[in-house]
Structure 1
Amino acid sequence: MAKIRYEGYCEGEPTRLVREKFGNANVYGQQTKSLLTKATGFIAAYDFTLNPYRGCQYGCSYCYAAAFSPNDKMRQDWGNWVIFKENAEEVLSKELYKWYAKNPQTPPRIYMSSVTDPYQPFESRYGLTRRLLEVMLEVRDNGYPTPTLVIQTRSPIITRDIDYLQRFQRLRINMSIPTGSELVRKDFEPRSPSIKARFNAISIIQQKIDAFKGFVPKISITITPLLPTLLTDETSFIDKLAIADRIVIQDFHPSHNRSLIASTRPEANTVKPKYAWWYASEESSYIKFKEKLVSRLTHVEIKEGKEGFGYE
């Protein structure tokens, strides 16, 4: 099969043209043969991962997902392109019913998403993630149990879909908040939503989902990777984390130069020297922060790395 050549990121005649510009990002459409991918490694507790998009407009400096870009040019330009899967709804429906044909009473466990943010800015226009939630809910009309779903995001756009989210009996929302300091966020992930906006999104979900009218989701805050939080912000940040039932912490992925290897991008490593007070003794900083979490958040589950990403 010929390799796809994306306009702006290839030599010669492209086979995929830019559909539109959304902010700074080139947007491409592409057909897909499969949407549910067997979950392995870090999220092996699930049956499948589901990524509605390739690429992510947030373009966080540390994001390991850049390693899975279609080519080196797109890897270097992480954050400035996004590919949406044009036939995603049809494919997901077929794959779900194929699952239920073999497992009629066992809902699949789905992690959305592992290498993109399902609520990145383009979702506000295109609504692909919302339509996929609808597909997952429709199976109940045919007598099958709704999938167990975990949504990983850093976006307040998720509050748009509360009407669907409250219909999932088994749902966990993982909100990514790697630091409690806006100054640090702006250095490591300048395109992402503010910390305040993310906490507000969690509050809105908890306030608007009535336990008598729907299912209240489990809430995790994933501090992954754990970034520095300025001492002046630390106590306030930890107190705000009490809004969740689980906190997950994890350090940076090891750095690799090879493609298709989950690793921390060089862009993040160039920021680290600015926070030498933290990274000069990174292991100690990590341990001390974890100890503060455990000490102050006595009613919140504190987990590290892989064990924190399961549904239960």
Structure 2
Amino acid sequence: MRTVEIQAKSILSKSRVYEWTINPYRGCQHGCSYCYARFMKRFTHHRESWGDFVDVKVNAPGLLAEEVKKKKVGRVWISGVCDAYQPIEEEYEITRRCLEVLQRNGWPVTIQTKSPLVLRDLDLLKDFGEIEVGFSIATGDEEIRSIFESKTSRIEERINALRILHREDVRTYVMIAPMLPKIESLPSQLEGKVDYVLIDKMNYHYADWVYRKYGLQGARMNEFFAQKGTELAHLFRMRGIRCELLF
């Protein structure tokens, strides 16, 4: 793993998902096989494979403190092209310090992660004016998880983190994207732990080789996504969980 401390020129970026996004790091240690953020290498020119480098934006909190004074208040997505709670955050605490800036200035925040490290910041999250914390969970099966995203936290750890956050009255959600095989158990596992669920199909081809290697090509077909998406949405709604299909 190659880690470099860098000085970012800016930290608040316009987003197509929410008004703004913050990426405290460039690169992601999780290195998920399907990650759309792999396109970033075209601009960063790293020689390392995706998942084998992280640039730490050590000046991000200071930059943010200045930028929030000049920008129009809007919802901030943390993060769009990295996991803000990837392992290196435990050491640098860039994400936490950015959250402190946003909290002081009353900016609404949406966090999306795969890491229970977010619980470290529960003291901040509970006192935020407007915040929601979401976990990306693409399958309910550990074997499938290890095939597609071997460096991420276990599914049960993410679900337990959701349980704790929800119990503390922090708004929670799950992003099932991309929808992978053996997803059927999630509705029952998430009952009473999330406010809503979003579901999307596999939209990129980075992980096509994984499907071929493990004989899972059928789960890459549009028919799979259409059928499973409809079934999942029904199961979530039966449990009183708001669910939206994004395809």
- Whether the TM-score (by the shorter chain) exceeds 0.5 is yes
TM-score when scaled to structure 1?
A: 0.73
Cα contact 2:180–2:219 (8 A) shared by 1:
no
The aligned counterpart of 1:117 is: 83
Q: Which residue of structure 2 aligns with residue 219 of structure 1?
A: 172
Q: How does 1:232-243 map to 2 (within 5 A)?
A: 234=184, 236-242=185-191, 243=193
2:11 aligns with 35
Deviations 1:244-272 (Å, cap 9, x if unpaired)?
A: 121111112233xxxxxxxxx2xx21111
- Matched ranges for 1:1-312 at <5 A: 25-40=1-16, 43=17, 46-69=18-41, 70-71=44-45, 73-74=47-48, 77-99=49-71, 103=72, 107-139=73-105, 146-207=106-167, 209=168, 216-229=169-182, 234=184, 236-242=185-191, 243-255=193-205, 265=206, 268-273=207-212, 274-276=214-216, 278-279=218-219, 282-298=221-237, 299-305=240-246
Q: Identify if the C-alpha distance between structure 1 residues 184 and 169 changes in structure 2 by more than 3 Å, giving closer, same or farther.
A: same
Amino acid in the other structure paired with 1:51: N
Q: For residues 168 and 276 of structure 1, what CA distance do their matches in structure 2 show?
A: 42
Q: CA deviation at 1:305?
A: 2.5
Instruction: State the SS of the aligned residue for 2:118.
Output: helix
Instruction: Give, in angstroms, the shift of residue 275 of structure 1.
Output: 4.0
- 1:103-137: per-residue Cα shift (whole Å, max 9, x none)? 5xxx3211110000000000111111111111112
Asked which structure has the greater CA Rg, the reply is: 1
Instruction: Output the CA distance in 2 between the equivalents of 1:134 and 1:279.
Output: 41
Q: Deviations over 1:64-119 (max 9, x none)?
A: 11111211623xx11111111121111000000112xxx5xxx3211110000000
Give the whole-Å Cα distance in 1 for the aligned partners of 2:146 and 2:215.
13
Q: Separation in 2 of the partners of 1:217 and 1:204?
A: 9
Aligned residues with identical type, % of pairs: 33
CA distance in 1, matches of 2:100, 2:46: 35
- Counterpart-to-counterpart distance in 1, 2:203 and 2:225: 14
Root-mean-square deviation (CA, aligned residues, Å) is 1.7
Distance 1:237 1:136 in 2: 32
Count of paired positions: 241
1:260 aligns with none
The answer to whether the 8 Å contact 2:233/2:245 transfers is no
Deviation of the 1:288 alpha carbon: 2.2
Provide the C-alpha distance between the structure 1 equivalents of 2:46 and 2:79, rounded to a whole number of angstroms. 22
Residues 1:72 and 1:134: Cα distance change in structure 2 (over 3 Å): closer
Residues in 2 aligned to 1:276 and 1:192: alpha-carbon distance in whole angstroms:
21
> What is the letter of the counterpart of residue 34 of structure 1?
S
TM-score, normalised to structure 2, is 0.92
- Residue of structure 2 equivalent to 1:142: none
Structure 1 residues 187 and 96: CA distance shift in structure 2, 3 A: same
Distance in 2 between the 1:118 and 1:276 partners? Answer: 30
Aligned counterparts of 1:39 and 1:295: Cα–Cα separation in 2: 30
